[in-house]
Structure 1
Amino acid sequence: MKLKTFWLKSRISTLVLGALLIFTNCEKENELFTEETSEEIIVTQEKDITEKAFPDKKGKVTEITYQGQQLMVEEMDGVYVFEGDILITPEELQNANKSTGRTQNLWPNCIVYYSIESSLPNKQRVYDAIAHWKSKTNLQFIKRTNQTAYVNFRKGSGCSSSVGRTGGKQNINLADGCSTGNTIHEIGHAIGLWHEQSRKDRNTYVNINFANIQAGKDHNFKTYVQRGEDGDEYSPTLDFGSIMMYGSYAFSKNGMPTITKKDGSTYSVQRTALSAWDKIGVSRMYKKVCGTVPNMSGYYKANDGGHYYVRHIGIDVYWFGEHPNGSWANIFKGKLDGNKITGNFYDVPKGKIQGSGQLKLTVNYNSTKITKTQGSNFGGSVWNKMARPSSLPGTRTAGFGVRNNINNLTARWYANDGGYYYVRQVGSRVVWFGERHFTSGRPAWANVGYGIKIGNNIYLNWADVAKGNANGNGTLQLKMNGANTMTRVAVTGGFGGSSWSR
């Protein structure tokens, strides 16, 4: 799959969404969006709404080979500028030409790490733009700690960004005049979107008036085909309402339109919000990385009376569920495919029940409702996302399990980090739920572990869940030192505990 730009209409309607049915391979995905309500998008008719890295500046026009395509770019201030606001550094150019395709530019696990420089004015536009992306797509944005690949928001001479994940520090440059909408646009580039006017079929919908384009800027109006790419798209038509769309007066030298509709009229564009085709396009682009629904992480209340704390990382979905009366508690680990989750649950000894089995679930278009489609030996069938209660069930004595059996770890364990871990072993499968330090009605952290036991070694993936306030994840290797003690051998993700006893 190649990373292309996806365009959408200013409003969602049942009629427009029906057009999705022409994509026979994506029919099931379209069901996710039928519940979306109409969203008001404010359009503008400005003379030139186009984002530019270096406004009113011209560079040396040169041709480069980037990710298998020939690009005409301008060389300015030590970087190559493509289509006005897309930056390609010499280092990125070298690395990109060693790769095999653009799909490498996706952000793993749908997590975009970012930082904001202290000198950037009006940081709120960044926070608002990030909040918009988080609420409308399946991408997560997490402040960078020590990650190598991340987006850095900083003050610049214009509005500009790289396209896709470069693998290192990549800047989104924002001048004082770059709005929240411009910031949403530049984040679109950073997650992998190109501009609308590059579609291979654009000449079916618009005319390019080259006589009105500034000298040396006509290279910004080439299509994918003209650059040697196939230009596959995931939307049926060019969309004049996309936040990634050039306006009618982009790079105009004389105040006359450079892009018009086929009848010669100009059109309005917007820098307010992602609209329907943008959201659908990103969803399809990142489907194999994180499914097609927005991130599910959070608290859900189920129709069986249980509290469920969900963590969604890429296509992996974890939860810890418990009934407030202590009758049962379970962990779940599943895989997300589009809007469907398949995985297994295991009761853990925070409760009294000892069940396990497979569950199949579906998630609605905005991740506010989970519905069970298969799993006859599991009580809950509908989960609704809501605000986490102020007070949550605390630690409990072990509901089941034994001591002194090195071949069965099922029991409540106590760790040197102060946490209680409710461990369950079924065959070689080992799972747990851990929590520590209740303050103000909830633990400081809570996590689930899911892995296998080979001999006296245990290999786990762990992820914090929304019962606590931490947001880490990683891997663990443990070693049994006896029937009732185990120690940590290796860890990733900053996990605290290093020894356990039961």
Structure 2
Amino acid sequence: VGRKTEQKASICPMAAAANHGTSGLETEETVAKRYEEIGNRHQGDIVLSDLQSDAANVGATQIVQDAFRWVKGIVPYEISPEFSQLEMNQIKYAMDRIASYSCVRFGPRSPTDRQYLNITASPTGCWATLGMNLLANQLNLQREGCLETGVIMHQLLHVLGLTHPQSRPDRDFYVLVEQDAIDTSLKKNLDKYQKGVIEDFGIPYDYESILHCQSDAFGSSASNRATVVPLVDVEIGQRNELSLKDVRKLNKMYDYEYCG
């Protein structure tokens, strides 16, 4: 048992390669982020429960209520045997990184755990359910393209209940969403939430978040233009490390004085 600290590890600076829309070069990181856009899921890589879907569409309640937070910050998990031992170790390493910043703990499922995270390698894409759901909790990491540590941490934060910064109700004060550059069939993925749907814990907009989309997310191949443009000179879309604000938000959501 240890007392929670504000910060237990250093936060890496954002990599120049993170902004694919500027560089025009495909790196392992940007290729991995493409898999976040595969499939007809909420904002590309989130699976919502019916209750959460109603909240997102109607805006009457929060999308991640207290009931959707993992009890005592403990996430039991079960990993598919489809993964190699090396791949399993990579997933566990990403879990350990998140745990080092917070009181969140990941551990193998026991027979008494009714709610647990099922970690799978199929079907395609990098995606996850949002928060703790009573019926099913799944993290899918396609073996080709989804096993970068930062990508795994991005998805684990969804599992813990965190959402994308670009979906915040106040996002238009920080980024310009170029609607005519977005693939017509994917426009809904860059919609913003209505006020009151998500909890920001009083933490300002975070360009550096590991959850922020890249600058050409959901872009039309015909336009070849940025879809999300910061209103200040910063890069977006890194998948290297949790930002300071990611850590603050996580510790606000799972606020325990002592870590078990």
Deviation at residue 187 of structure 1 after TM alignment:
0.6
Q: Secondary structure at the match of 1:124?
A: helix
**1-structure distance, mates of 2:198, 2:45:** 20
Asked if structure 1 preserves the Cα contact closer than 8 Å seen for 2:208 and 2:235, the reply is no
C-alpha distance in structure 1 between counterparts of 2:80 and 2:209, whole Å: 29
SS in 2 for 1:243: coil
Q: Secondary structure at the match of 1:161?
A: strand
Question: Who is 1:149 aligned against?
Answer: 115
Q: Distance in 2 between matches of 1:167 and 1:84?
A: 22
Q: Which residue of 2 aligns with 1:272?
A: 240
Return the alpha-carbon distance in structure 2 between the equivalents of residues 243 and 261 of structure 1.
Answer: 15
- Structure 2 distance, partners of 1:273, 1:240, is 13
Give yes or no for contact 1:197–1:246 (8 Å, CA) kept in 2: yes
1:164–1:192 contact (8 Å) kept in structure 2: yes
CA separation of 1:135 and 1:180: change in aligned 2, threshold 3 A: same
Matched, 1:135 2:103: no
Within the candidate set 29, 33, 40, 2:12 is matched to 40
The counterpart of 2:134, out of the listed 167, 176, 179, is 167
Equivalent in the alignment of 1:240? 207
Name the structure 1 match of 2:79.
116
Specify the code of the residue in structure 1 equivalent to 2:73. Answer: C
Once residues 68 and 215 of structure 2 are traced to their aligned partners in structure 1, the CA distance between those partners, rounded to angstroms, is 30
> Which one-letter code corresponds to 1:164 in the other structure?
G
Matching of residue 93 in structure 1 with residue 61 in structure 2: no
CA shift at 1:268, angstroms?
A: 3.5
- Looking at secondary structure, tell me which structure has more strand per residue: 1
1:145/1:169 Cα in 2 relative to 1: closer, same or farther (>3 Å)?
farther
Q: Provide the identity percentage.
A: 23
Structure with a larger share of its residues in helix: 2
Measured after TM superposition, the shift of residue 185 of structure 1 is: 0.6
Tell me: higher relative CO, structure 1 or 2? Use CA pairs within 8 A at least 6 residues apart: 2
Residue number in structure 1 paired with 2:44: 84
Whether 1:209 aligns to 2:183 is: no
In structure 2, how many angstroms separate the alpha carbons of the residues matched to 1:250 and 1:95? 23
Decide which structure has the larger Cα Rg and report it.
Answer: 1
Q: Distance in 1 between matches of 2:173 and 2:125?
A: 32
Aligned residues: 231
Q: Is the 8 A contact 1:51 1:85 kept in 2?
A: no
Partner residue, 1:257: 226
The equivalences for 1:457-496 within 5 A come to none
- Say if 1:257 and 1:94 are closer, same or farther in 2 by CA, change over 3 A: closer
- In structure 2, runs of 5+ residues without a counterpart are 22-29, 56-60
Could you say if the C-alpha distance between residues 202 and 87 of structure 1 is closer, same or farther in structure 2, counting changes exceeding 3 Å?
Answer: same
Kindly provide the CA deviation profile for residues 451-471 of structure 1, in whole angstroms up to 9, marking residues without a partner as x.
xxxxxxxxxxxxxxxxxxxxx
Structure 1 pair 37–111 and aligned structure 2 pair: CA distance change class (3 A) = closer
Query: Out of 133, 138, 154, which is 1:185 matched to?
Result: 154
Q: Is 1:125 aligned to residue 82 of structure 2?
A: no
CA contact (8 A) 1:260 1:266 kept: no
SS state at 1:217 partner: helix
Deviations along 1:97-116, whole A, 9 cap, x unmatched?
79x86221001111100011
Question: 1:236, CA displacement in angstroms?
Answer: 4.1
Deviation at 1:199, TM superposition (A): 1.1
Q: 1:247–1:120: structure 2 CA closer, same or farther, 3 Å change rule?
A: same
Instruction: State the TM-score, normalizing by the size of structure 1.
Output: 0.42
Following the alignment from structure 1 to structure 2, what is the Cα–Cα distance between the partners of residues 143 and 37? Answer: 24
- Structure 2 residue matching 1:141: 3-state secondary structure: strand
Q: CA deviation at 1:53?
A: 5.4
1:37 Cα offset (Å): 7.3
Computed over aligned residues only, the root mean square deviation of the Cα atoms, in angstroms, reads 2.7
C-alpha separation between the residues in 2 aligned to 1:195 and 1:83? 8
CA offset digits 1:133-185 (Å, max 9, x no partner): 11111101110022111111111211000000012442211112111111101
